[in-house]
Structures are given as structure tokens and as C-alpha cells.
Structure 1
Amino acid sequence: MSQPDAASEVVASRATRTGRNLPVAITVAVVLLAAVASSLFYRKELFVGLAVIAVCLGLYELGKAFSVRDIRIPLLPVMVGTAGILISTYISGPEALMVSFALTVGAVVVWRVIDGGGIEAVRDSAAGLFAAAYLPLMGGFVMLMLAADDGPIQVAIFILLAVANDTGGFFAGVKFGRHPLAPTISPKKSWEGLAGSFALTMLVGVIGATFFLHMNPVVGVILGLITPITATVGDLAESLIKRDLGLKDMGTLLPGHGGVLDRLDSLLLTAPFVYLMFSSASGLPV
């Protein structure tokens, strides 16, 4: 067998086992992290804009996925509400998050009823409420982190925790994975991979909390325990939605990763817990 053929077989074998093109996936991940870091530490408002775009793309993918079952999410009011939720939360805090979310919910229902009544309107409105709670509401907690004086560092650690969860789980699962975690929902996830997620997120959490936020190391330990649970539940929840809709990925915008929503799923459910941990940790002794 020639060397090029052998190399092709290795790449094909890795792609089969991991379910993705690893070099492409790594390249896309590095580009995304660079864009996020640049916006975070150059000007906070740029990150807010990036977040609005990412959430709106996720909403578009969710709407397209739901259309497979003839469910029409009222995307326009949800997307307008997304901009309102994220921007107002960054500027004015938790009260703005709740008020803007409530206004978005009202707009979704009114918009869909005006477009036509009946059982379809109830179904589509419910899907719109789910979309608003799933994406912009959860994203609002990231804006609350960002608004703090050390907001860029908080958000960076939050993102790195999610990256550590995915990375630790991925490599531990590929190397040692033998026992499926949820075979009927996500066959590639394993208990060994989850252990890898706990190990790496614990390390990132302790280093981030202790050396960059100057918090008690216990905060980092708690973050290392919480993140793999919330991120895995978020990932499995999206996998369950995709399974029910008969889809492999929510989209194709990110080569090697699937869609934008496939990258946001583990971040969304984790955001409120990390925010609450950071906001309550200020009272702990260092």
C-alpha cells in the first residue's frame, strides 16, 4: 500500500470513529475562538454584536429544523427580541433581561395570532416561546457576566469551561470510551468521556477562578463539577430534538461541527449556572 493511501485510511478511520473531520473541526474551532477573544478583549460591544448574530443564526437553524414537522417558529419577532434581550441585558442588567424576554414572548404570540388562528397558531406560538427561552434568554446570562468589571475574563473562562468539557470528553471518549452514556440518544457519548470532561473542566475552573478572577479555589471546583453536567444535559437535549426530527446536525454552517446551534447547545444551559456562581462567589474568602 502506498503512503498516500495509508494516510487516507488513517484519516478515514479517525473520521469514522469521531464522527467528524478532525483537522477541519480543529481549524474552525481555532478561528471561532480567535474571533470571540478578539471581540471580548478589544471592545465588549463587539462581543455583544457577535452574540446577537450567533443566536440569530441558531434561531434560523432551529426554525428550519422544526419546519420538517410543519412547525413554523415566528422567527422575525424572536430575532428582533433577541437583539433587544441581549443588548438591554448588557446595558441594564437582570431586570432588563426579564422585561425584554416577557415582551418577546408577547410579541411572538400576537404575531402568530395575527398571521392566522387555530391549533396551528397555538403550536407555532409554543415553538416560538421555546426558541426564545432556549436561545436569547440563556444567552442573556452571558451578557450579565460580560457587564461586570472583569466581564471579558468571566466570559472567557465560561467559554473555556465549555471547550474543556467538549475537548476532555472527546479525547477521553475516543481513547477509552467503552460504556455508552445514553446510547439511544447520542451513541458516541461514553461514561469514560464524561470522566474526561470532569477532569479537564475541573482544571480549567480552578486555574481560571484562582489565578484570573482571584476567587476561592472552591469556586473553580464547583464550576468543574457543574459544567460537565449542564453541558452534557444541554448536548443530549439537542440530540434528542435532532433525533425526533430525524436530523444528524442542526445545520452545515460550521464545517466539522455541523451548525451554529450544535456549538451553542452545551453553552446555553451552562450560562445561568456559571453566572450565578460568579455573582455569588464574591462573598467567599480567597
Structure 2
Amino acid sequence: MTTVVGPERQEGSGTPAAPSGVAAAKSAGKAGRNLPAAIGVGGTLGIGLILVLVFVPLVWIGVVAVALAVATYEVSKRLREGGVLVPRIPLILGGQAMIWLGWPFGAVGVLSAAVGTVVVCMVWLLLRQGFGTAPKNYLEELSVTVLVACWLPLLASFTVLMVLQDNGAGRILVFVIGVVCSDIGGYIAGVLFGKHPMAPAISPKKSWEGLVGSLIFCIIGCLLTVTLILEANSLIGILLGVVLVVTGTLGDLIESQVKRDLRIKDMGTLLPGHGGIMDRLDSLLPSAFVAWLVFTVLL
């Protein structure tokens, strides 16, 4: 989610410096990204996801599984570079179990896989160097491992539970469109009007003006999609719009703080103009749980 302030407030983020000079100024937008590349990649991904949801909605599960495997690899790689040796293999395999077991067994399958993943990781870290050697930094590495398991695959599994519900493809579309509208609204309002940083110690580019833009765009987007796609009460759209902005913004701030602690700009480099897969999921992951909860309770 992007809620940027004006260009005069973009320095001092604590992340590696962006390329300098005229070439960088031309290629990067006011949010510090290569805007043409970001739009091209984002548009391509968006169209692809829409086609999947409209014509083969169950393929969504495979899309989520692949995205989470890559994101888990990105995060574990960055953590290892920062000196936190999380168990990559159990996290990736356990994440796949959370995603795929949600298909036949629903929430019970997801929860069982999540608990199993944590147990396996506990033992893996304990015995990684064999019985004769006491593990180092066990508590720290186990805590971060549990965080990664809950932050990535567990939250993502709610999109699987969502797509399996009545009109699941429509629910996913409403959820994704809401987050995208929040992102676009925050970017536009932040670039045009952003003057008051929201959380300068965590993400200096976010502004209160951008947050207002996110609220306006997201509420309008959710209001229209809930009414037209789900044919539900418009008040649900308003509520969903508000909560998606809150969770999306907090999700983005959480990832920003993690990257700040690791002294990195992006989790990966797979998507030009965006960073890694995880850099695109930061707002979506906590919002997935909230959207699933709203739909489950109110629809």
C-alpha cells in the first residue's frame, strides 16, 4: 500500500539510497519506484488474476501456493542474510500444507497444518546441528520462524477458504479490488497533497493525506463491487472499505519495520518496479483474514 508524502520528504528512510542522477529521476516516480515498470507488471498480474478467477477459480489455490512459496523463500533468505537462521524447508513445505489442506478440509485443515508446521520447526531448530550440539539463538530463531509461518502462509490461507465459499471468485475479486483501490488512492493523494508524514520513524513516505485518499478510493471501490459483484448490502461495502484500509496500512507498516530492522529496501527483485513477491503481499495478507471474516459473518 502506497500513501506517499511529497518529494521533499522522501529522504532519510534508513534504507539503501536510490540511484542518483538524471536517469534515476526519469525512471523513478515520486514514490521511489520505476513507475512505468510498476504499472506494466501490476497491470499484467491484475489481468491474469481476473482471468483465473472468472474462468477457473480453483486455479487460484495454485497461484496462492506458488506466490507463498516464493515469498517465504524471499523472507527466509533476507532473514538469513541478517543473521536469523530460520528453517527454510519446513517453512516452505508447511506453508504448502496450509494452502492445500484448506481445499478438502477447510479451516480445520489450515489450522492443523499450521500447528504441525510450528511443531516441526521447533524440532528442526533443536536438532539442526545434531544431538551433541546445543542450538544457538534457539528462542530468537524459533520466535521469528513462528512469525513467518503465521504472517505468510497462515494469513494467505484465508484467500483459499474465501474462494471455496459461495461466489468465492467474486469475494476474492472484491477483496483484491478493494486493496488495489486503497493503494491507488493513497499513491495519488500522497503525491498530490502529502505534507504530513504518518509514521516517519517507520515509513517516511506515508502521509495522512495519503491515508485519506486510500479511504475514499477503497470505500468507493468496495461499495461498488460489493453491490454489483456480490449483490449484497451496500453497508457491507462501506465497512469492508474502512477495515481494508486499516489492515492494509498496518500490514505495509509492519513489513516496512521488518525491512528497516534488516536494513534492506525490498524483500526481493523478482517484480520490476515492485521488488519481490512479498513486497506486493504486505497489504494483502492481513486484509485477507479481515475480508474472509467480514464475508463469513455478514454475507
TM-score higher than 0.5 here?
yes
> Which of residues 31, 43, 46 is equivalent to 1:33?
46
d(CA) in 2 for partners of 1:183, 1:113? 39
Shift of 1:118: 2.4
Shift of 1:38: 2.3
Question: Is 1:69 paired with 2:86?
Answer: no
What runs of 5+ residues in structure 2 fail to find an aligned partner? 1-20
d(CA) in 1 for partners of 2:150, 2:108? 16
Cα–Cα, structure 1 residues 11 and 33, in superposed 2: closer, same or farther, change >3 Å?
Answer: same
d(CA) in 2 for partners of 1:202, 1:45? 28
Cα–Cα, structure 1 residues 211 and 63, in superposed 2: closer, same or farther, change >3 Å?
Answer: same
Deviations 1:172-196 (A, max 9, x none): 1001111111111111111110000
Shift of 1:239: 0.3
Return the letter of the residue paired with 1:136.
P
> Which of residues 142, 163, 176 is equivalent to 1:159?
176
Specify the alignment match of 2:135 in structure 1. Answer: 118
Question: Is 1:100 paired with 2:113?
Answer: yes
Specify the alignment match of 2:250 in structure 1. Answer: 233
Specify the alignment match of 1:141 in structure 2. Answer: 158
d(CA) in 1 for partners of 2:179, 2:192? 20
Superposition map of 1:1-286 within 5 A: 12=25, 15=28, 17-116=30-129, 117-282=134-299
d(CA) in 2 for partners of 1:174, 1:127? 35
Return the letter of the residue paired with 2:185.
G
d(CA) in 1 for partners of 2:264, 2:23? 27
Task: Give the stretch that moved more between structures: 13-22 or 207-216.
Answer: 13-22
State the secondary structure of the residue aligned to 1:181. Answer: strand
The number of residue pairs the alignment matches comes to: 275
Greater fraction of residues in helix: 1
Contact 1:90 1:146 in 2 (8 A): no
State the secondary structure of the residue aligned to 2:206. Answer: strand
d(CA) in 2 for partners of 1:80, 1:102? 13
Segments of 4+ moved more than 3 angstroms: 8-11
Task: Give the stretch that moved more between structures: 115-124 or 149-158.
Answer: 115-124
Contact 2:162 2:292 in 1 (8 A): yes
Contact 1:215 1:281 in 2 (8 A): no
Deviations 1:185-216 (A, max 9, x none): 11111111000000010011111111111111
Contact 2:178 2:244 in 1 (8 A): yes
Return the letter of the residue paired with 2:28.
A
Task: Give the stretch that moved more between structures: 117-126 or 158-167.
Answer: 117-126
Using the aligned pairs only, state the percent identity: 36
d(CA) in 2 for partners of 1:87, 1:68? 29
Contact 1:77 1:108 in 2 (8 A): yes
State the secondary structure of the residue aligned to 1:44. Answer: coil
Contact 1:82 1:132 in 2 (8 A): yes
TM-score by length of 1: 0.92
Contact 1:91 1:147 in 2 (8 A): no
Cα–Cα, structure 1 residues 21 and 81, in superposed 2: closer, same or farther, change >3 Å?
Answer: same
Shift of 1:11: 8.2
RMSD of aligned Cα (Å): 1.7
d(CA) in 2 for partners of 1:14, 1:186? 22
State the secondary structure of the residue aligned to 1:149. Answer: coil
